[in-house]
């Protein structure tokens, strides 16, 4: 009897010890392994034997993602370029990406043996010297891995030995046709994992405008607490500034929104990787949310006591937490670019932490340009480039005067363009219409407060031109309308919007 008790005690002890081993592995049970390497800048050629390291690459984030669990591991290379990824479940496969932690820019994938982006961790793995070649937008270990460590599903399409999505944020060329058949983290097999791929299914439509892209989930890793993370740019310009806004400051607005299963379980969110221009950014207010008391206020610098924060956001006029967010204004619209990367460290109220990412897939460089307008069947008026500064209706101080007989306006305009000068084919343009009881457009005279009246959708008339007819109601909600603020916008899944604003007074 005593022996049975003793053996039972021994068994319990063994189980307890095994349990401790599991919890320290971080992998939810089972054996874990470590991946190490040393990052260097240099040159890559088609032969691995000719890969040349030049200088140690310190302060890069090696972002490893488990292709099965989606778990993200982020480690920063030290002063000698060394990094160590610990706690990887044995036999898990990882895809490795590099982010320059100084500039906050994604720089490319790690490609193994000239061919594969998937690393299978059959045991503790030393990758040796990994050379990053900025001219190719990829990195590669200078020694070959054994075949058993390559995940054959992650064999991207290459062009001259480089993944077709490299240095293009995963955008074309290299467009796939039909339903992409690649693996979960790189369905279009352009070599760029979804998190850093602006067009994750390779169909030529940006994730923001492609329903089902799930881009709001891509930066979450395996988080069970955060449910969505997005960053999106807004560029709303008065018509008169159509051609001059690019040289003006604080015109571009950037929104960060992070949703949680329970946002009150979050104690703080701080940025751990951020582009350098963030130092010149300032906070903007929100028309939808109030922020927690520690929010520095509109116009304050985003950088506070050496840190950048995302703040708890309440439903307007309440203390009901709805999400975590920050809305900022960027000093120069040209500062921000596709490839900008934001890493957030979330600390929960139970002291646990996790890191998630948001990625800038594209930026607005051009707003839609009005080319023609026409009121209630009157004469169509073409707008000559170079005259936007003097067009009536271009600003709140210079509204276009309409009479009681004018009940609609037809506008023709170009699509907005991205950082490469390409027109954004959003397929979903809309007007936001704001009505005022006074043509002075004083904020207090806004009748449809916090409501965007999406009155009509926009028709693509070819040649990158769009056209729509907007109703101009005499009254709204029983109040006579004297001022109309009209904004055309490209409605993405996340709320991105580039528009010109027209003011009308009656
Ligand atoms: Ca792609
Ligand atoms: Ca891809
Ligand atoms: Ca993506
Ligand atoms: Ca797409």
E runs forming strands in 384-482: 400-401, 408-414, 429-436, 459-462, 465-471, 475-476, 479-480
Claim to verify: residue 7 and residue 120 sit in the same structural domain: no
Task: Among 309, 326, 359, give the residue marking a domain's end.
Answer: 359
Nearest bound ligand to the CA of residue 106: 3
Helices (H) then strands (E): counts for the chain: 2, 33
Q: How far is the CA of 37 from the centre of ligand 2 (A)?
A: 24
Is 268 contained in some domain? yes
For position 2, what pLDDT does the model report? Answer: 45
Question: Nearest 5°: CA angle at 377, between 373 and 381?
Answer: 30
Buried b (16+ CB within 10 A) or exposed e, 193-211: bbbbbbbbbbbebbbbbbe
For position 18, what pLDDT does the model report? Answer: 40
Q: How far is the CA of 164 from the centre of ligand 1 (A)?
A: 9
For position 488, what pLDDT does the model report? Answer: 81
> Which DSSP category does 23 fall into?
H
Is 217 contained in some domain? no
Q: How far is the CA of 199 from the centre of ligand 2 (A)?
A: 7
The pair of three-digit structure tokens given for residue 450, joined into one six-digit string? 């916090």
Claim to verify: residue 87 and residue 98 sit in the same structural domain: yes
Residues with CB under 5 A from ligand 1 (ion): 165, 170, 188, 190, 197, 199, 202
Claim to verify: residue 383 and residue 468 sit in the same structural domain: yes
Buried b (16+ CB within 10 A) or exposed e, 94-126: bbbbbbbbebbbbbbbbbbbbebbbbbbeeebe
Q: How far is the CA of 212 from the centre of ligand 4 (A)?
A: 9
For position 164, what pLDDT does the model report? Answer: 94
d(CA 137, CA 98): 10
Is 209 contained in some domain? no
Claim to verify: residue 12 and residue 82 sit in the same structural domain: no
pLDDT tens track for 389-407? 888 888 999 999 999 899 9
Claim to verify: residue 429 and residue 346 sit in the same structural domain: no
Residues with CB under 5 A from ligand 3 (ion): 194, 197, 200, 207, 215, 218
Nearest bound ligand to the CA of residue 357: 3
Claim to verify: residue 19 and residue 84 sit in the same structural domain: no
Q: How far is the CA of 425 from the centre of ligand 2 (A)?
A: 20
Enumerate residues 6+ apart whose C-beta is below 8 A from 147. Answer: none
Q: How would DSSP label each residue in 229-261?
A: EEEEEEEEEEGGGTTTGGGSEEEEEEEEEEEES
Is 242 contained in some domain? yes
Nearest bound ligand to the CA of residue 175: 1
Q: In 3-state terms, what secondary structure has residue 138?
A: strand
Q: How far is the CA of 42 from the centre of ligand 2 (A)?
A: 24
Claim to verify: residue 15 and residue 84 sit in the same structural domain: no
Is 313 contained in some domain? yes
**Range of the structural domain that residue 405 is part of:** 370-505
Is 283 contained in some domain? yes
Question: Mean pLDDT, 10 residues at a time, over the chain (506 residues)?
Answer: 44 40 47 98 89 96 98 98 98 98 98 96 97 97 95 95 94 67 92 96 88 93 97 89 91 95 98 97 92 97 98 95 97 94 98 97 88 92 88 88 92 88 75 91 87 70 90 93 88 76 94
Claim to verify: residue 50 and residue 140 sit in the same structural domain: yes
* CATH label of the domain that carries residue 443: 2.60.40
Q: How far is the CA of 170 from the centre of ligand 1 (A)?
A: 4
Is 446 contained in some domain? yes
Verdict on whether the full-model pTM lies above 0.75: yes
Nearest bound ligand to the CA of residue 154: 2
Is 178 contained in some domain? no
Q: How far is the CA of 199 from the centre of ligand 4 (A)?
A: 4
Residues with CB under 5 A from ligand 4 (ion): 199, 201, 203, 205, 210
Q: How far is the CA of 396 from the centre of ligand 4 (A)?
A: 38
* CATH label of the domain that carries residue 129: 2.60.40.1120
Q: How far is the CA of 359 from the centre of ligand 3 (A)?
A: 8
Task: Among 359, 388, 420, give the residue marking a domain's end.
Answer: 359
Q: How far is the CA of 253 from the centre of ligand 3 (A)?
A: 21
Claim to verify: residue 374 and residue 499 sit in the same structural domain: yes
Claim to verify: residue 24 and residue 37 sit in the same structural domain: no
Claim to verify: residue 347 and residue 322 sit in the same structural domain: yes
Claim to verify: residue 379 and residue 355 sit in the same structural domain: no
Using alpha carbons, list the distances in angstroms from residue 340 to 273, 317, 360, 361. Answer: 10, 33, 5, 8
Q: How far is the CA of 94 from the centre of ligand 1 (A)?
A: 19
For position 21, what pLDDT does the model report? Answer: 34
Q: How far is the CA of 204 from the centre of ligand 3 (A)?
A: 12
The total number of structural domains in the chain stands at: 4
Nearest bound ligand to the CA of residue 185: 2
Nearest bound ligand to the CA of residue 195: 3
Nearest bound ligand to the CA of residue 170: 1
């Amino acid at each position: 009897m005593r022996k049975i008790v003793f053996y039972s005690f021994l068994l319990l002890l063994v189980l307890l010890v095994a349990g401790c081993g599991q919890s320290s592995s971080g992998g939810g049970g089972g054996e874990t392994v470590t991946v190490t390497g040393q990052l260097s800048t240099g040159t890559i050629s088609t032969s691995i034997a000719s890969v040349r390291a030049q200088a140690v690459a310190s302060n890069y984030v090696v972002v490893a993602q488990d292709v099965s669990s989606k778990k993200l591991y982020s480690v920063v290379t030290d002063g000698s370029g060394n990094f160590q990824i610990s706690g990887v479940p044995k036999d898990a496969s990882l895809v490795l990406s590099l982010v320059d932690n100084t500039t906050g820019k994604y720089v490319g994938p790690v490609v193994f043996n000239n061919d594969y982006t998937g690393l299978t961790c059959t045991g503790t793995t030393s990758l040796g010297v990994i050379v990053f070649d900025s001219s190719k937008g990829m990195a590669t270990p200078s020694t070959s891995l054994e075949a058993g460590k390559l995940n054959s599903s992650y064999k991207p399409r290459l062009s001259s030995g480089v993944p077709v999505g490299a240095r293009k944020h995963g955008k074309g060329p290299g467009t796939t046709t039909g339903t992409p058949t690649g693996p979960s983290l790189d369905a279009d097999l352009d070599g760029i994992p979804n998190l850093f791929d602006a067009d994750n299914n390779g169909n030529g439509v940006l994730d923001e405008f492609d329903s089902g892209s799930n881009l709001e989930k891509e930066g979450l890793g395996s988080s069970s607490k955060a449910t969505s993370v997005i960053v999106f740019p807004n560029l709303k310009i008065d018509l008169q500034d159509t051609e001059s806004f690019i040289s003006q400051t604080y015109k571009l607005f950037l929104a960060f929104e992070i949703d949680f299963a329970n946002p009150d379980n979050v104690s703080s969110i701080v940025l751990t990787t951020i582009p350098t221009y963030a130092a010149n950014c300032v906070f903007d207010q929100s028309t939808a949310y109030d922020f927690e008391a520690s929010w520095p206020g509109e116009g304050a610098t985003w950088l506070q006591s050496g840190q950048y924060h995302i703040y708890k956001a309440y439903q307007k006029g309440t203390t009901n937490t709805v999400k975590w967010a920050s809305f900022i204004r960027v000093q120069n619209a040209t500062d921000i670019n596709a490839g900008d990367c934001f890493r957030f460290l979330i600390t929960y109220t139970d002291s646990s932490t996790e890191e998630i990412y948001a990625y800038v897939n594209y930026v607005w460089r051009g707003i839609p340009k009005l080319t023609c307008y026409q009121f209630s069947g009157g004469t169509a008026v073409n707008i000559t480039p170079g005259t936007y500064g003097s067009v009536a209706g271009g600003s709140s101080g210079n509204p276009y005067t309409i009479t009681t007989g004018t009940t609609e306006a037809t506008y023709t305009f170009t699509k907005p363009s991205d950082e490469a000068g390409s027109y954004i084919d959003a397929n979903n343009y809309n007007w936001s219409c704001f009505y005022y009881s006074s043509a002075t457009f004083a904020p207090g005279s806004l009748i449809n407060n916090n409501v965007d009246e999406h009155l009509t959708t926009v028709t693509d008339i070819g040649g990158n031109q769009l056209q729509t007819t907007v109703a101009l109601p005499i009254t709204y909600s029983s109040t006579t309308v004297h001022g109309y603020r009209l904004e055309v916008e490209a409605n993405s899944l996340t709320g991105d919007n580039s528009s010109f604003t027209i003011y009308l007074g009656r």
